[in-house]
C-alpha cells in the first residue's frame, strides 16, 4: 500500500471513529433522561435556594418527562453538597443547583473547607434566575433615603451597624462592596442566618442589613423594615418603588445580582448538558413559571454553558477584590 493511500486510510478511519463517537453521544442525549435525576441543593429545606430549585425543577420534570428530584445536602456554607456532586458520576443523573456561596464565595473566603475546583470539577449548565440584594434598615433609623443614610454614616464613623448571615457570606461581601462605594465605616454584626437578621432588624436591635430581596420582600411589604435600594443597576420589576442603589452618585458602581444555576460534574457529555440547558430555556418561557418566580422575588435568567462559565470567572475576580479591600482574612 502506498504511503499516500495509507495516510488517506488513517484519515478516513479517524473520521469514521469521530463520527461514530458523535453519533453515540447524540443517541445518549436523545434518550436522556431515562430515569430520575438527583439534583443536590447544598442548603437546608425551606430557604430561598431550596424554594427556587423546587419551583424550577418541578417545571423541568414536566418538560423532560422524568422526575428531577431535590436532595438537600446542607453544611459548611454549601460546600458539602457541592463536593458530593463534584465527585459524582458524570452521567447526567446527579446535578447541582447552587448559588454563589459554595461556588465563588467559599473558595475565596474559606478555602480551607473547599475540596473542589469549580473551574475544573464542574460543567456549568445554565442560570435559571437572579435576585438582587437589597439594603434595608430599621424603621427606627430615621434616614429618609440612601443619600441621608450615607451622610449620617460619614458623620459618625463606626456608630451604625449592619447584620448578615455570617462572616464571608454573599450578604457580607455585598455589604462590603456597598461600604467601599459609599466610603463609610459601618460595623458588621454576623448572625447565623438571614431570618434571624430580619427578626433583629425589625425589632430595632440592629440598624441595617443587606440580603436577597426574595427573603426581605415580606418584611418590606409589611412595613417592618425600610428598603433603601436594590443592588442591581435597574429597579426590581416586582417592587419598582424601591430605588436602585446606583441611582445614588456615591454608589453608581454598585451592581450585584445573585444568580441561581444548575451544574453537572465535569466530563458530563456535552450533548446531555445542552439538552438540560434547552429544557431550562423552555421552562423559563412558561408564563406560569415566570409568574411564580416573580412572586418569589426572582427574575428568570438564562445564561448558558460557556457564557455562564465566563460570568462565574468575572464574579470570582470581583469577590476576591472585595475580600482584599475589606481586609477579610481567608480561613
pLDDT tens by residue, 160-216: 999 998 888 889 999 999 998 999 999 999 998 888 999 999 999 999 999 999 889
Q: Give dist(CA 231, CA 248) in Å, integer.
A: 11
Q: Give the pLDDT score at 17.
A: 59
> Cell 428568570 belongs to which residue?
300
Q: What percentage of the chain has pLDDT greater than the value 70? A: 92
Give the separation between CA 173 and CA 188, rounded to whole angstroms. 11
pLDDT at 20 over 60: no
Backbone angles phi, psi at 268, to 5 degrees: -65, 135
* 8 Å CB contact between 139 and 225: yes
Is 28's pLDDT higher than 70? no
pTM beyond 0.85, yes or no: no
Which residue in the block uniquely carries the three cell numbers 424550577? Answer: 56
- Give the pLDDT band of residue 30 (cuts 50, 70, 90): confident
Cell numbers standing for residue 194: 438571614
Q: What is the CA angle 31-281-84, rounded to 5?
A: 65
Q: Which domains does the chain have, with CATH numbers?
A: 35-130+258-325 (3.40.190.150), 132-251 (3.40.190.10)
- Cβ atoms within 10 A of the Cβ of 238, count? 16
Q: 71-85: buried (b, 16+ CB within 10 Å) or exposed (e) per residue?
A: ebbbebbbbbbbbbb
DSSP letters along 51-102, please?
Answer: HHHHHHHHHHHHHHTS-EEEEE---GGGHHHHHHHHTS-SSSSEEEEE-HII
Strand 226-230 with 122-137, pairing: antiparallel
Q: Which of 256, 280, 268, 316 is nearest to 126 (CA)?
A: 280
pLDDT digits (tens, 9 = 90+) for 67-125: 999 999 998 889 999 999 999 999 999 999 999 999 999 999 999 999 999 999 999 99
Amino acid at each position: 500500500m502506498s504511503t499516500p493511500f495509507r495516510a488517506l486510510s488513517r484519515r478516513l478511519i479517524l473520521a469514521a471513529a469521530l463520527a461514530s463517537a458523535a453519533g453515540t453521544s447524540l443517541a445518549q442525549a436523545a434518550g436522556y433522561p431515562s430515569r430520575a435525576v438527583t439534583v443536590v441543593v447544598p442548603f437546608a429545606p425551606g430557604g430561598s435556594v431550596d424554594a427556587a430549585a423546587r419551583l424550577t425543577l418541578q417545571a423541568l420534570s414536566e418538560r423532560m418527562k422524568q422526575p428531577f428530584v431535590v436532595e438537600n445536602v446542607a453544611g459548611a456554607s454549601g460546600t458539602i453538597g457541592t463536593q458530593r456532586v463534584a465527585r459524582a458520576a458524570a452521567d447526567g443523573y446527579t446535578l447541582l443547583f447552587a448559588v454563589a456561596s459554595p461556588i465563588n464565595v467559599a473558595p475565596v473566603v474559606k478555602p480551607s473547607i473547599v475540596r473542589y475546583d469549580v473551574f475544573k470539577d464542574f460543567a456549568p449548565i445554565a442560570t435559571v434566575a437572579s435576585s438582587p440584594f437589597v439594603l434595608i434598615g430599621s424603621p427606627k433609623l430615621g434616614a429618609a433615603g440612601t443619600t441621608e443614610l450615607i451622610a449620617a454614616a460619614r458623620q459618625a464613623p463606626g456608630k451604625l451597624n449592619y447584620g448578615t448571615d455570617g462572616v464571608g457570606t454573599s450578604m457580607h461581601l455585598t455589604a462590603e462592596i456597598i461600604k467601599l462605594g459609599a466610603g463609610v465605616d459601618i460595623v458588621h454584626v454576623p448572625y447565623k442566618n438571614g431570618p434571624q437578621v430580619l427578626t433583629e432588624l425589625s425589632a430595632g436591635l440592629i440598624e441595617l442589613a443587606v440580603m436577597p430581596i426574595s427573603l426581605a420582600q415580606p418584611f418590606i411589604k409589611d412595613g417592618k423594615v425600610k428598603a433603601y435600594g436594590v443592588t442591581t443597576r435597574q429597579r426590581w420589576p416586582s417592587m419598582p418603588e424601591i430605588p436602585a442603589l446606583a441611582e445614588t452618585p456615591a454608589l453608581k458602581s454598585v451592581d450585584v445580582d445573585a444568580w441561581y444555576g444548575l451544574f453537572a460534574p465535569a466530563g458530563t457529555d456535552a450533548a446531555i448538558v445542552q439538552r438540560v440547558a434547552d429544557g431550562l430555556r423552555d421552562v423559563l418561557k412558561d408564563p406560569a413559571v415566570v409568574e411564580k418566580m416573580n412572586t418569589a422575588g426572582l427574575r428568570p435568567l438564562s445564561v448558558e454553558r460557556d457564557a455562564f462559565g465566563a460570568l462565574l470567572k468575572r464574579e470570582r475576580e470581583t469577590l476576591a477584590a472585595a475580600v482584599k479591600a475589606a481586609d477579610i482574612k481567608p480561613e
